[in-house]
Structure 1
């Protein structure tokens, strides 16, 4: 694909950069990579001298544009066909229609019924085009307008953060990419905090922001938002989410929840993913403090893509005048998961091929089957195949669904380690990053995971992992001896952890693994260890010294008395060895007198002089 660079200077808008390369409006068959948010792409199209259909990712974006402009038609779920027809018949110079992807068909159908050829008479702008790739796995209809989009004679895709698109029509129709390149330093400050004590770190950050006028928290899970509001006892709040989530939160007593922006903002404002991009949030006086949350303890979909979503989130707040700094602070608090399985490109390709083969095999059986009931059964199986997630309404492979698979694995790979995520942020060239890896040997999240694990064997595995980490961190000099003791004591306070810790201290990770983490086998291994260890310990110098001092020579001492006194010495030294009457012979040359009452030993000489 041909790439054209368009330079933009500080204080300029998108059209200024486009004019520099010879365009007065957004050119057709272009992917417009704005680099920066808030350059006025949709604004320029709304005010362009042509009919336009602008596809926006979500309803709140559309409603926000309606508040700022006249003679716009908004098309979304609640819109009826007659209102669209009425607008299409209005006598105005240039018609401007904003629609969600899912409602685009309403425009097409209304225009068709009126004999209007939208593909010739309208310019189609697909805004925030990366959302199709990102959202299609849970929002299948977001790609519905794609066939229509490529039928428009004049069309463009636009975003500050476009993702690679594999759709073959881009090449067939000779799309070009226009890369907007700022001539100035546009980097924004961001603090990245990686932790395994999520709530502890979040409380600390929020405590530092307690005097902030508007704390805007971007967190893509309403259950988590509900939990935060309740646990932190937040009262001055607003939640912005889908209407379905609004209803759910209302039932839980979270009554200040909205499906579109509601001013004025509260001190604490929570936004789910439908508010991450395209939307303009206007604050007249006070700049916000922005907090992005990723909590992998409960929801993998709280992962934030540094290359797209992080950039989009900071761009929701529009500058006032010439002030380019639109917020006080921007912080991303995140957990990581080293155990996330990330599929390689080769693995994904093999899976997609196999999904397709499975489908084709059943399709062939279906087409050849003459028995009606068997044919229905095969069809039901076909509908449940993973392949169904990859096809569009026409039954063809959807390139955006394939792109989504690769994109998800890319983002997951960032959250395997703190450094991976840090490097991803660096690769954006958009942020000046303050990086804080405050991961502890054993954090609150680790303990929570341990305590929520139901199977005993799995709990032992997790405990051993923590013990290995503590040991390795100490050996590498990353923690002090006092830290090591603290973390082990922290672990010991958890249910049944003491058992595993004691076994680990004796037979180590290798011994516990050999015992398959099963209690019965661990007990046997520990018992054998104790026996072997006792044989060594009971001949240690301190034990020998105590035994020598305990008994006098050349005097008859009752056998049972010797046995008891020797057992006490073993107990004091934690030696698990059962003392019998003859055990004393391991330490002394003795003479034995069973005629004595009671039977006795005379200790003649200590063997370890």
Structure 2
């Protein structure tokens, strides 16, 4: 068009908070800013701006213009702190239903984790009444899990009773409904830190999606005292120290006298945390630094209930009602027993300690069913023997199994206890020395006070199993093939 747009056009950068919010996983989002600063007339705008530190703003004389509404704009929000996301979600939905006197109102959930979304849908058994709006790759993931009601684009015609939205739908979207839905935001800091939402930014944006207003706004969240609470000074000192380390390694790299030394210093420099604050040209990316500061401050809100509630109050955008829901078993307990890094013995210790917390209420029985699903054997052992006996047996499965059989024998609840004990001691596919076979069978008969019908030898095992001759080293043995009785 034979014109220089830098001097003939006004460049307006809308939803500018997204540059800071998303730069940690969308590095290229800052690229347009280089063009932005070349324009003569320009501005950035957002309903929820985030403070920026890029020195180019000050160098070019930018001003901050704040527009304050002349009408009442604060919204009521219920911040529900809990140790069990699932049960609290059920409770909140039930309370909303009883308050409104109807179950026909739309519920819109905002959860930035399709794993949590799918888990909630499945555990609440609302598959047919739910739809998930998420990114394309998440749509494919849900379809692989046999959940078909997933869309990558907002579609008014696909709305259902329970509507779930991930992060991509928190901003720049007009959701126009005739109804005023319930907004339920869920943050599970133990399962997925990316579900933490910023009261100053994310929550305001979420509520703003609904152009016809909303009925109830609820934020259900757990908190974790292991999340750091750092002051702005501490965060900036960390960034400064990281930069100094990077500069020192760069200096060593630039002055190295051999290729091997340069390679070593370059590898060391490229591994330090400061690299994430650099753009592709190795220049300081101020928006990446702002992102880190913002994320660290956000983590501090989820350290405890009071910090999260105070963050909402300090926004000036919400009238906050704080509620708490506490259960015998919560999200931290679930995380402990689902930890794949611990041994089976440690997992069973965790389950036994959690069983000790339960009573006989209907809700506690539901928790117990969850524990049974996690490890049915140890729950049965607990019901039969109790914590003390399990600990005395040092969580040995064979010893616990034997103790359970003896207990059942003593209470005359079952027959065939001697056979059951022998099957507990000898396993199919394993080899046993002849002297061990004789000794173990004799021990079991004496334990059960059952007189053998003939002298016990290693061949007595043939009464219970089909076996074959075998060797363990230089010792004769028997290989257990299959059960005979």
Is residue 247 of structure 2 the alignment partner of residue 363 of structure 1? no
Alignment partners' CA distance in 2, 1:125 and 1:195:
42
Name the residue aligned to 2:63.
176
- Say whether residues 1:238 and 2:131 are aligned partners: yes
The two structures have a TM-score, normalised by structure 2, of: 0.68
User: Do the aligned partners of 2:19 and 2:30 also contact (CA within 8 Å) in 1?
Assistant: yes
1:255 to 130, 142, 148: 148
CA distance, structure 2, for counterparts of residue 366 and residue 500 of structure 1: 64
Alpha-carbon distance, 1:433 to partner: 2.0
* Separation (CA, whole Å) in 2 of partners of 1:187 and 1:462: 45
Is 1:397 the counterpart of 2:272 in the alignment? no
Deviations 1:395-423 (A, max 9, x none): 12111111112211211111111111111
- CA deviations 1:247-278 (Å, max 9, x no partner) are 22222222222222122122221111111112
1:178-327 equivalences under 5 Å are 178-207=65-94, 208-209=96-97, 211-233=103-125, 234-264=127-157, 265-283=159-177, 285-319=178-212, 326-327=213-214
Where does structure 1 lack aligned partners over 5 or more consecutive residues?
1-88, 90-114, 320-325, 471-480, 504-517, 520-609
Q: What SS does structure 1 have at the residue aligned with 2:184?
A: strand
Matched, 1:147 2:34: yes
2: CA distance, partners of 1:152 / 1:459: 64
Q: Which residue of 2 aligns with 1:41?
A: none
* 3-state SS in 2 of match to 1:238: strand
2:336 counterpart of 1:450: yes
Q: Are residues 252 and 117 of structure 1, via their aligned partners in 2, closer, same or farther at CA, if it must alter by over 3 Å?
A: farther
Matched length: 369
Spell out, residue by residue over 1:181-212, the C-alpha distance to the aligned partner (whole angstroms, 9 max, x if none): 12222211211111112111112223445723
The secondary structure found in structure 2 opposite 1:176 is coil
Q: How does 1:324-335 map to 2 (within 5 A)?
A: 326-335=213-222
**How far off is 1:318 after superposition?**
0.7
Counterpart for residue 122 of structure 1:
9
Q: Structure 1, residues 498-536: CA drift from partner, whole Å, max 9, x if none?
A: 999879xxxxxxxxxxxxxx99xxxxxxxxxxxxxxxxx
Other-structure match for 2:413: none
**Retained in 2: the 8 A contact 1:450–1:463?**
no
Larger Rg: 1
Distance 2:116 2:280 in 1: 34
Note closer, same or farther for the CA distance 1:430–1:463 as it changes in structure 2 (3 Å cut). farther
Deviations 1:102-143 (A, max 9, x none): xxxxxxxxxxxxx54222122222222222222211221111
Q: Could you tell me how far 1:460 is from its partner in structure 2?
A: 7.5
TM-score in terms of structure 1 length: 0.55
Give the Cα–Cα distance (whole angstroms) in 1 for the partners of residues 169 and 323 of structure 2: 27
Could you list the runs of 5+ residues in structure 2 that have no partner in the other structure?
A: 396-485
Rounded to whole Å, the distance in 2 between the matches of 1:461 and 1:227 is: 22
With over 3 angstroms needed to count, the CA separation of the structure-2 counterparts of 1:242 and 1:361, relative to structure 1, is same
Structure 2 residue aligned with 1:414? 301
CA distance in structure 2 between the partners assigned to 1:250 and 1:147 by the alignment: 40
Structure 1 partner of 2:451: none
